[in-house]
């Protein structure tokens, strides 16, 4: 059994907390790693290490910081397969998919860090009479990043680029369900020569996360996770008058218009609903399809679902890994049972396979209505609930009814409907594609899905504190 440790100020240390947590392979149900849950004392020392290291890190030039981050990113890329294997063991993701997301995370880290080279850390404005105002954007200091289990490596890399390139130091607390790949990520940071104390790691569960969000010296908390915990993080940072960026859950709709290719679109929707076993914050979780193509679309969606072969993600040919744990599978089962009880039809899937591991098949539901849990609560599992609508407008109207507002997707060839897509209340709207967008992407989750704009310049605005310095054009000696 592997033992995991915290990284505090450049030293790997056992947690001083008494509780020991284990990491279980969801494909086999076997525990393979253990660690002590980080105590408030561990958090305190990690934050102190970040505070101590910060002035020196901020004292490097932007170019030097970006170079360090790029070296780390290259080291991570060289170990992408190993990291994908670790993610597979700790949370079930098939290694092919895992590797592509690790590569995506590396690209995001590099692109975000490179944006520091053009970000205006100092801007000068000259006013009437020649007075000058310098807007100086200072790093915040020690910051915290708290991540969920569904993309352990990508989530850490995605959050860190702007925070570190702007001159902040960080304490990371990964999910207790998938900390193994994050530990390796930090070993690789050491290997790449990241200075001690710039990146600190404290392992643990919600109690450790709460100690971090409550810490007086943490200037910003970048939190990715559920709405329920996001509210607690927002409340804790609000009490301390500190910043937070909250990237939370979703219940993303898809509107499929008449006139699109029903088979190709169904395949795209199957991918959006089932990849990573539906455990993506922007998974397609509500599908509204125009009645003109509904029959062909559902037939193709069922056929596509049946190609998502269940298995251990380490085995070649596995498309659908297990859910992360029994609790997550219970949520999926409960949502399907609720839908069936209220009149939905299971068109494929819906039965837990008899084998070890937290598996659940790719499942298509029809005769679904908007009162069912599959349409109101985040499922985070391989479900595709389909509602047939008589018009595109009705699909759009029903897609807009949700307490979530993370992302939305529209498939249409109608130019007016493409324009209408932008009106969906979501941070990201994809049209005839899913998951697209480069480093210039700028968005803020709508409704309960979070707060704080990220991407492009906004991530640097969040990672820095602007201060105005007004310099008079009149010399101080002028009045003598
Ligand atoms: P979670 O909210 O249960 O946990 C997320 C992290 O918060 C974990 O590290 C956990 O230990 C920690 N935590 C728990 N209680 C805490 C507290 N009181 N204070 C501080 N930290 C605490 O979420 P999860 O189950 O790990 O992840 C799944 C959720 O994450 C889903 O809702 C999913 O949609 C969301 N998610 C969102 C995005 C996004 O970008 N919007 C991306 C990935 C996942």
Burial class of residue 216, CB neighbours in 10 A (0-12, 13-18, 19+): exposed
Distance 147 CA to ligand 1 centre (A): 6
Assigned domain for 480 exists: no
- 374 within domain boundaries: yes
What whole-number distance in Å separates Cα of residue 86 and Cα of residue 177?
12
Q: How far is the CA of 313 from the centre of ligand 1 (A)?
A: 23
Is the pLDDT at 177 greater than 80, yes or no? yes
Same domain, yes or no, for 286 and 176?
no
Residue 77 reports pLDDT greater than 80: yes
User: What's the chain's average pLDDT?
Assistant: 97
| Catalytic annotation, pick one of 85, 90, 281, 444 | 281
Indicate if 211 and 337 belong to the same structural domain.
Answer: no
- Ligand 1 proximity of 404 Cβ (cutoff 6 Å): no
d(CA 157, CA 14): 24
Tell me the pLDDT tens digit for each residue of 115-127.
999 999 999 999 8
Q: 475 lies in a domain?
A: no
Answer yes or no: 244 catalytic: no
The answer to whether residues 284 and 180 belong to one domain is no
Residue 145: which pLDDT band, with cuts at 50, 70 and 90?
Answer: very high
Give the pLDDT confidence of 16-64 residue by residue, as tens digits.
Answer: 999 999 999 999 999 999 999 999 999 999 999 999 999 999 999 999 9
Residue 11 has what pLDDT? 98
> Are residues 460 and 354 located together in one domain of the fold?
no
Residue 261 belongs to a domain with what CATH number?
3.40.309.10
Residue 226 Cα to ligand 1 midpoint, Å, equals 4
Tokens representing 418? 């493409």
380, 412: one domain: yes
Looking from the CA of residue 449, the nearest atom of ligand 1 is 41
**Same domain, yes or no, for 71 and 160?**
yes
pLDDT at 98 over 80: yes
* pLDDT for 439: 72
Would you place residue 368 in the very low, low, confident or very high pLDDT band (cuts 50, 70, 90)?
very high
Same domain as 293, residue 158: no
pLDDT in tens, 198-210: 999 999 999 999 9
Question: What separation in Å is there between the alpha carbon of 471 and the centre of ligand 1?
Answer: 45
The stretch 217-231 carries a mean pLDDT of 98
Judge if 167 and 278 occupy the same domain. no
Ligand 1 atom 15 nearest Cα: 206
pLDDT at 478: 86
Which of 123-132, 328-337, 421-430 is predicted least confidently? 123-132
Domain containing 240 equals 2-248+445-468
Has residue 437 been placed in a domain? Answer: no
227: number of Cβ within 10 Å: 17
Span 385-404, average pLDDT: 98
Are residues 382 and 461 located together in one domain of the fold? no
Catalytic residue among 85, 247, 285, 378: 247
- What is the best residue among 225, 247, 275, 406 to mutate for testing ligand 1's pocket, by most ligand atoms within 8 Å of CB? 225
**The pLDDT value given to residue 52:** 98
User: 209 in ligand 1 pocket by Cβ < 6 Å?
Assistant: yes
Instruction: Report which protein residue has its CA nearest ligand 1's atom 21.
Output: 209
| pLDDT tens by residue, 312-367 | 999 988 999 999 999 999 999 999 999 999 999 999 999 999 999 999 999 999 99
Whether residues 115 and 207 fall in one domain: yes
> Residues 390-412: what's their mean pLDDT?
98
Cβ atoms < 10 Å from Cβ of 1: 9
Same domain, 135 and 283: no
Q: Give the count of domains, the chain.
A: 2
Q: 247 an active-site residue? A: yes
Tell me what pLDDT residue 438 has. Answer: 75
Average pLDDT score over residue span 170-194:
98
Evaluate if residue 147 carries a pLDDT over 80.
yes
Residue 223 pLDDT > 80: yes
* 479 pLDDT tier (thresholds 50, 70, 90): confident
């Amino acid at each position: 059994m592997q033992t995991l440790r915290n990284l505090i100020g450049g030293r790997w240390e056992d947690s001083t907390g008494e509780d020991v947590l284990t990491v279980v392979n969801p494909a086999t149900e076997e525990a393979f790693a253990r660690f002590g849950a980080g105590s408030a004392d561990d958090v305190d020392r990690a934050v102190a290490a970040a505070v101590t290291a910060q002035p020196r890190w901020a004292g490097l030039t932007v170019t030097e910081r970006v170079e360090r981050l790029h070296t780390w990113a290259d080291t991570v890329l060289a170990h992408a397969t190993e990291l994908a294997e670790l993610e597979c063991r700790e949370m079930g993701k098939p290694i092919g998919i895992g590797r592509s997301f690790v590569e995506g995370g590396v690209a995001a880290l590099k692109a975000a860090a490179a944006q520091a080279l053009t970000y205006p850390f100092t801007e000068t404005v000259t006013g009437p009479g020649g007075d000058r105002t310098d807007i100086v954007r200072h790093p915040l200091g020690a910051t915290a990043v708290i991540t969920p289990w569904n993309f352990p490596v990508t989530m850490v890399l995605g959050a860190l680029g702007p925070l570190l390139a702007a001159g902040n130091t960080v304490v990371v607390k990964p999910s207790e369900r998938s900390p193994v790949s994050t530990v390796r990520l930090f070993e690789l940071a050491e290997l790449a020569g990241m200075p001690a104390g710039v990146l600190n790691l404290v392992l643990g569960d919600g109690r450790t996360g709460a100690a971090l969000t409550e810490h007086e010296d943490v200037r910003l908390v970048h939190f990715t996770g559920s709405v329920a915990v996001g509210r607690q993080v927002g409340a804790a940072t609000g009490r301390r008058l500190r910043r937070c960026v909250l990237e939370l859950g979703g219940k993303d709709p898809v509107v499929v218009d008449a006139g699109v290719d029903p088979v190709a679109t169904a395949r795209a929707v199957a991918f959006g609903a089932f990849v990573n076993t539906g455990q993506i914050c922007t998974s397609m979780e509500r599908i509204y399809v125009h009645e003109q193509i509904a029959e062909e679309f559902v037939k193709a969606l069922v056929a596509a679902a049946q190609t998502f072969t269940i298995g251990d993600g380490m085995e070649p040919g596995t498309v659908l890994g297990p859910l992360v744990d029994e609790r997550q599978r219970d949520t999926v089962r409960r949502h399907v049972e609720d839908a069936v009880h209220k009149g939905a039809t299971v068109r494929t899937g819906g039965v837990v396979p008899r084998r070890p591991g937290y598996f659940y098949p790719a499942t298509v539901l029809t005769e679904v209505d908007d009162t069912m849990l599959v349409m109101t609560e985040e499922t985070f599992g391989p479900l595709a609930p389909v509602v047939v609508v008589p018009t595109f407008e009705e699909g759009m109207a029903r897609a807009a009814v949700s307490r979530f507002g993370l992302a939305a997707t529209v498939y249409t060839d109608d130019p007016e409907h493409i324009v209408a897509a932008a009106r969906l209340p979501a941070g990201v709207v994809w049209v005839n594609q899913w998951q697209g967008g480069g480093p210039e992407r700028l968005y803020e989750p709508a409704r309960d899905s979070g707060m704080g704009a990220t991407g492009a310049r906004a991530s640097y605005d969040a990672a820095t504190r602007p201060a105005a310095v007004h310099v008079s054009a009149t010399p101080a000696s002028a009045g003598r």
